[in-house]
Structure 1
Amino acid sequence: MHISHIEAQLDYEVGAPAHLLLNIEAARAGAQAVIRETLTIEPAAEVQVFCDEASGNRFLRFDVAPGPLKIAYTATVQRTQVDVPHDLPEVPVNEVPDEVLHYMMPTRYCESDLMARCAYQLFGDLPPGIGRVQAIVDWIHDSITYESGSTDSTTTAREVFVQRAGVCRDFAHLGITFCRALNIPARLVVGYVAFEEPPQDFHAVFEAWLGGRWVLFDATRMAPVDRLVRVGTGRDAKDVAFCTIFGSVSMRDKQIVVTELQDQSVAPPVEPPASGALLGIEKPVPVVELATSA
């Protein structure tokens, strides 16, 4: 069992009235449980909270007025170790569950239809199964240079393949693209993790559908993949942006610290709040402390 403590602070300057959609809260799903968490928004705002039942992603949305905006999120999250067999097979397309099928389709950032010939040239002769996905991960790690600032929010997997440089999101997009091109369902996962080397930031990895289950992979090898605190899951980056802005808002600073805790004597995890509840951020709710400062 792993326990992680997260501290995230986002500072913005709002130029005109705008609307924000945040996806920064740890997911409450699967082997992961939120023990405690707090959210602070300055100045205070009326926040609508909802959860996408299909993905488990938790969203916050609210209006903001011109001026400085500070968002702080802390959480202590418990994650149970999940053993992954070394012989998981690929699932034939006709046996892929309906709810997983759309993770086989090309998307804006993962042009698996355009990369199919390349994927088969590189990996088509390998035995199907988890070993082939690991070969994809190894190839990306060995062939793509991790370089901060080498890509932007519009960069696609095909562009990363050509320029041979990117960041964690690009590594994950390329892994997803190769998998889908080989008829292996794959999806993007973002969250928090304690990097072996600072600075820390949001981190992106990918999952492949193998043997009837989702298995995590990280081609950057920046941190143990089983230590990731999941926040968002989606088809590609457009589904899991930590902040989607409607209006004139610019980021001034972002600080993220993730600490692995040794003491496992913690309180039981809390139950999630009702989906779609409308909350005043100045009021605490039964399971999540919501606070503000003047």
Structure 2
Amino acid sequence: MNVLIRLGYEIEITCGQPTEVIALLDPHPDLAGNMVRSSGVQIEPSVPNRTYIDPYGNSCLRLTAPAGAMRLSRDSLVEVEGRPDQWDETAQECSVSDLPDEALGYLLASRYCETDLMMAQAWELFGNVAPGWTRVRAIFDYVNSHLTFGYEHARATRTAAEAWRERVGVCRDFAHLAITLCRCMNIPARYANGYLGDIGVAPNPAPMDFNAWCEIWLEDRWFTLDARHNEPRIGRVVIARGRDATDIPLIHSFGPHQLTMFRVWTDEAHEAGFPALQ
């Protein structure tokens, strides 16, 4: 059975001068057929804008933010599968020589995933663990227990090696560390972000936020795993995928900006109850 999810955002940034901006905030192009209803992107004040597809297949909004405040908002209803992330305890690793071209690049180091710094540690921890799903689960269990989550620990420049040393982080740090350890073990791993509501789990009283998780290549496909929550979840809606957070920033400005408003929502919904964004 599928579920309807109402999701969206209201974000305001302030720039001191006209500034080029790229934003990745809306569901991935793969989900275009899942869109039931949408307000479309609302931009205040209205400025010329366009979307393009980046090398990773993500939809990017491009515009020039004026000096002063600019607000971006969108309210959508999306239909997705109502079952949790699909795991397969029998899934096996591929030898590097058998990996498809699309997965091979996700073995390499990237801005926040320093495989060169973590290689020895990864093999010490997981070299004797049975390869395949067992090894992947061991990595995610380790990251989940090694790091302490807290919004107060957020730091945009923290790398996987730094998170491992500091033992704290937010969801992107959990993802970066798990990705790095998998890559060190020759398991392709990529970074994903998107919407994840409290569907099928106890409500979290913290304000809603975007989430980051991982996609791991085993056998012949990508599997979704989440080192922070560390269990299959219902209702993930992917925004973008890349090597790490560098490739898919929610908002990237080519000059300084201040975030002056941030609101995100992701809730199970019914089409009959879809009031306009307030």
Same fold (TM over 0.5): yes
CA 1:222–1:188 in 2, change beyond 3 Å: closer, same or farther? same
Task: Select between 167-176 and 196-205 the one with higher mean Cα deviation.
Answer: 196-205
TM-score normalised by length of structure 2: 0.89
Q: For 1:47, which of 32, 46, 49 is the aligned residue?
A: 49
Q: Aligned partner of 1:207: which letter?
A: E
Q: Tell me the CA shift for residue 124 of structure 1.
A: 1.1
Q: Does residue 258 of structure 2 align to residue 247 of structure 1?
A: no
Query: What is the CA-CA distance between 1:223 and the residue it aligns to?
Result: 7.8
Count residues in correspondence: 264
**Match of residue 214, structure 2, among 206, 209, 219:** 206
Given that residues 26 and 75 in structure 1 are in contact (C-alpha distance below 8 angstroms), is that contact kept between their aligned partners in structure 2? no
Q: Is 2:248 the partner of 1:257? A: no
Partners of 2:62 and 2:138 lie apart in 1 by: 40
SS in 2 for 1:69: strand
Q: CA deviation at 1:77?
A: 1.6
Residue 84 of structure 1, CA deviation: 3.1
Matched residue, 1:235: 243
SS at match of 2:97: helix
Alignment of 1:22-171 (within 5 A): 22-29=23-30, 33-37=34-38, 38-52=40-54, 54-80=55-81, 81=83, 83-171=86-174
Structure 2 unaligned spans of 5+ = 274-278
- Say if 1:64 and 1:265 are closer, same or farther in 2 by CA, change over 3 A: closer
Instruction: Determine the C-alpha separation between the residues in 2 that align with 1:31 and 1:84.
Output: 24
Q: For residues 255 and 51 of structure 1, do their structure 2 counterparts lie closer, same or farther at Cα, with a shift above 3 Å needed?
A: same
Which one-letter code corresponds to 1:51 in the other structure?
I
Whether the 8 Å contact between 1:194 and 1:223 is mirrored in structure 2 is no
Change (3 A) 1:159 1:29: same
* Residue of structure 2 equivalent to 1:21: 22
Q: How far apart are residue 149 of structure 1 and its match?
A: 2.7
Cα shift at 1:36: 2.5
Q: Provide the C-alpha distance between the structure 1 equivalents of 2:12 and 2:20, rounded to a whole number of angstroms.
A: 15
Match of residue 10 from structure 1? 11
Instruction: Supply the RMSD in Å over aligned alpha carbons.
Output: 2.0
Instruction: Output the CA distance in 1 between the equivalents of 2:109 and 2:179.
Output: 9
- 8 Å CA contact 1:28, 1:34 repeated in 2: no
What secondary structure is seen at the aligned counterpart in 1 of 2:156?
A: coil
The answer to whether the 8 Å contact 1:115/1:177 transfers is yes
Q: Which amino acid aligns with 1:185?
A: P
Percentage of identical aligned residues: 33
Q: What TM-score do the two structures reach when normalised by structure 1?
A: 0.85
